[in-house]
């Protein structure tokens, strides 16, 4: 029988700030934050023409409820030059995005229909360029897309309010406000 003794791991040197006993707040992951904000922007953008209730999958063309939308990348997310490209990202159904490996043939067809072939050829070329964002650029993009989301949320609110509006004589009621309380 062979006995193996576990080698004692050497203690890793502590980062400078730990040595000094000073805690430094960890930087938020800006890339992950932008992914989240950008994804919401894309899904809301593509559901706008359905009053923010539904979306049309870029790959299979099915019209589904907003809650089932993914932000699907045509060129894989690992390519930073197109990761936050508005043409490269579109609302896609979960089935196409997660189980059909993006349903690429359908995706390309959908893209050409939506943007025209020229734009897609340019997008495919952009894939190869090298792109690295600075923290400042990340922060600016997060701010920009957050503002666009807020704007669309307001539009969505107005669409819903308009649908719920009932006018009786000179009075305006909103169905949403007329909740029955037991």
Residue in 64, 77, 81, 89 with CA at minimum distance from that of residue 132? 81
Q: Does 54 bind Zn ion (CB under 5 A)?
A: no
Nearer to Zn ion, 92 or 145 (CB): 92
Minimum CB distance to Zn ion, residue 92 (Å): 6
Contacting range for Zn ion; rule: CB under 5 A; set: 18-26, 29-37, 55-63, 150-158: 55-63
- In angstroms, the first-to-last Cα distance of the chain is 75
Nearer to Zn ion, 64 or 123 (CB): 64
Minimum CB distance to Zn ion, residue 61 (Å): 7
Minimum CB distance to Zn ion, residue 172 (Å): 40
Detail the DSSP E strand segments found in the chain: 54-56, 63-65, 69-73, 89-93, 165-168, 171-174
The correct pick among 59, 82, 88, 90 for binding Zn ion (CB under 5 A) is: 59
Cβ count near 30 (within 10 Å): 17
The correct pick among 60, 141, 142, 149 for binding Zn ion (CB under 5 A) is: 60
Footprint (CB under 5 A) of Zn ion, residues 72-111? 93, 96
- Helical pair 135-164 and 30-47, crossing angle rounded to 10 deg: 30
Question: What is the dihedral sign for C-alpha 42, 51, 114, 64?
Answer: positive
The correct pick among 34, 44, 56, 57 for binding Zn ion (CB under 5 A) is: 57
> Does residue 152 contact residue 52 with C-beta atoms inside 8 Å?
yes
DSSP state of 70: E
Contacting range for Zn ion; rule: CB under 5 A; set: 58-66, 129-137, 153-161, 172-180: 58-66
* Binding site residues, Zn ion, CB under 5 A: 57, 59-60, 93, 96
């Amino acid at each position: 029988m062979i006995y193996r003794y576990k080698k004692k791991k050497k203690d890793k040197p502590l980062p400078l700030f730990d040595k000094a006993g000073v805690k430094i707040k960890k930087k938020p992951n800006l890339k992950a934050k932008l992914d989240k904000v950008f994804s919401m922007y894309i899904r809301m953008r593509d559901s706008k023409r359905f009053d923010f209730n539904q979306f049309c999958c870029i790959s299979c063309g099915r019209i589904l409820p907003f809650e089932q939308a993914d932000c699907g990348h045509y060129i894989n997310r690992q390519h930073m030059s197109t990761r936050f490209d508005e043409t490269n990202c579109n609302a896609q159904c979960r089935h196409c995005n997660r189980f059909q490996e993006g349903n690429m043939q359908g995706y390309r067809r959908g893209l050409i229909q939506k943007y025209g072939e020229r734009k897609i050829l340019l997008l495919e070329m952009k894939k190869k360029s090298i792109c690295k964002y600075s923290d400042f650029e990340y922060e600016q993009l997060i701010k920009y897309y957050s503002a666009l989301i807020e704007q669309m949320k307001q539009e969505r609110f107005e669409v819903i309010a308009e649908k719920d509006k009932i006018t009786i004589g000179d009075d305006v009621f909103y169905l949403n406000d007329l909740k029955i309380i037991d």
